[in-house]
Amino acid sequence: MLFLRRGTQLVGASNILWKDKVMKPLMVRAKEYLATRREEVPVILVPLANPDTEYSLLMLSTTLAKRNKAQLQLIHIVDVPGQTPLEAGGLEYEKQRWAEKTLLETASYHAAEQGVRARATAIVARSVSSAILSVAEMEQPEFIIMGWKGEVRMSRTGRTNVAEVLKIARGNVLVLKDRGLQDVRRIIVPVSGGSHALLGLRLAQDLADEWKASITALNVQVGRGPSAAHTEFDKQSIQLFQDKAGEFVKDTLDAVGVSADVEVVIDTDIARAIAKTAQKQDLIVIGASEEWALRRRLFGSIPDKVADQAEASVLMVRSKT
């Protein structure tokens, strides 16, 4: 079990001499060891907090671990208030561990069943987001995969742990808005260009290969669509517009080596069009908007709206910054 304080790495004692003579050399050796190990086995970091979303998160994480020949680093953060000693939080967690199966034990068992290597660590910390970022700094994971429960709205996302991790983490971050991943057969990926969308396509291909699912690459163009056509010229113009957009999507798929059906939709509201088109899909994989970091949004206005409006599960993707 690790004890983490806000803004620090590992803390075993407050004595400065102890930190300088013991902790710092140990941290250097640990980082050197992890650096050599990472060259051989990529790491996927999975913070676990909510039993309701644990199954879907693990299903997603173990699948990507298989495809990337990676191992999972499972962590559970025991959040301790400022006035409570960290050690007290550790004792409470130990009591719980003896009384019932913990999230980490259940998750480790699931990973083993899927043939995926996993390490599990309970962390006692003042700040959940700081603890996740500290582990990410140590592990340098290929992906950080987190779950999101509740609505994805600006008023509810700004100061959450997920938002804090997104702001600071330098690696690929995936956030799952789970509405059930028991049997995924149809995956849809909105394609609009940019590094986040390209990563989303690659991830969708990994998931589809493992789950024997189909992929639809969707492009939404802003406009009034075929229903607004009054003349034959209007219809031909709209068809030409759709064909050009379809060619863009096919070129993008070829560039990243993804096999998918292509669908182009014209609508005045992009998020609404994605949610509507995905009604019969099991999973939406959507990349962050290119300006996501400039606004008080989780992944950007369109991905956030899709995650809130869609009936299917939504995997929001932010590539390395």
Looking at residues 218-225, what average pLDDT do you find?
82
Token digits of residue 179: 């509405």
pLDDT in tens, 252-281: 999 999 999 999 998 889 999 999 999 999
CA distance 70 to 63: 10
pLDDT for the residue 13: 37
For the chain, the average pLDDT equals 80
pLDDT at position 126: 77
For the beta carbon of residue 22, count every other beta carbon within 10 angstroms. Answer: 13
Q: How many CA atoms lie within 13 A of 109 on its CB side?
A: 8
> What pLDDT, on a 0 to 100 scale, did the predictor assign at position 51?
78
Q: Which residue has the higher pLDDT, 267 or 155?
A: 267
pTM given for the model: 0.81
Instruction: Provide the pLDDT for residue 8.
Output: 34
Q: 287: closest CA among 219, 225, 223, 212?
A: 219
* Residue 1 confidence (pLDDT) above 60: no
The rounded Cα 119 to chain-centroid distance in angstroms is 19
Query: What local confidence, expressed as pLDDT, does residue 146 receive?
Result: 94
Secondary structure of the chain in HEC code, one letter for each residue: CEEECCCCCCCCCCCHHHHHHHHHHHHHHHHHHHHHHHHHCCEEEEECCCHHHHHHHHHHHHHHHHHHCCEEEEEEEEECCCCCCHHHHHHHHHHHHHHCCCHHHHHHHHHHHCCCCEEEEEEEECCHHHHHHHHHHHHCCCEEEEEECCCCCHHHHCCCHHHHHHHHCCCEEEEEECCCCCCCCEEEEECCCCHHHHHHHHHHHHHHHHHCCEEEEEEEEECCCHHHCCCHHHHHHHHHHHHHHHHHHHHHHHHHCCCCEEEEEEECCHHHHHHHHHHHCCEEEEECCCCHHHCCCCCCHHHHHHHHHCCCEEEEEECCC
Could you tell me if 147 and 56 are in contact, meaning their C-beta atoms sit under 8 angstroms apart?
Answer: yes
Under the banding of pLDDT at 50, 70 and 90, the label for residue 9 is: very low
Domains delineated in the chain = 1-149 (3.40.50.620), 181-321 (3.40.50.620)
Q: What is the CA radius of gyration of the chain?
A: 22
Distance CA(265)–CA(135), nearest Å, equals 42
Determine the pLDDT at residue 167: 85
Q: What is the mean pLDDT of residues 6-30?
A: 48
Q: What is the pLDDT of residues 95-104, one digit of tens each?
A: 555 434 578 8
**Range with top average pLDDT, 103-107, 181-185, 186-190:** 186-190
Q: Pseudo-torsion of CA 157, 222, 251, 216, nearest 10°?
A: 60
Which tens digits make up the pLDDT trace of 119-154? 998 888 878 899 999 999 999 999 999 998 766 665
Q: Is 80 exceeded by the pLDDT of residue 23? A: no
CB atoms closer than 10 angstroms to residue 217: 24
Here the tokens at position 215 are 């992929």
- 222, pLDDT greater than 80: yes
> Which of 194, 197, 188, 192 is closest to 275 using CA atoms?
188
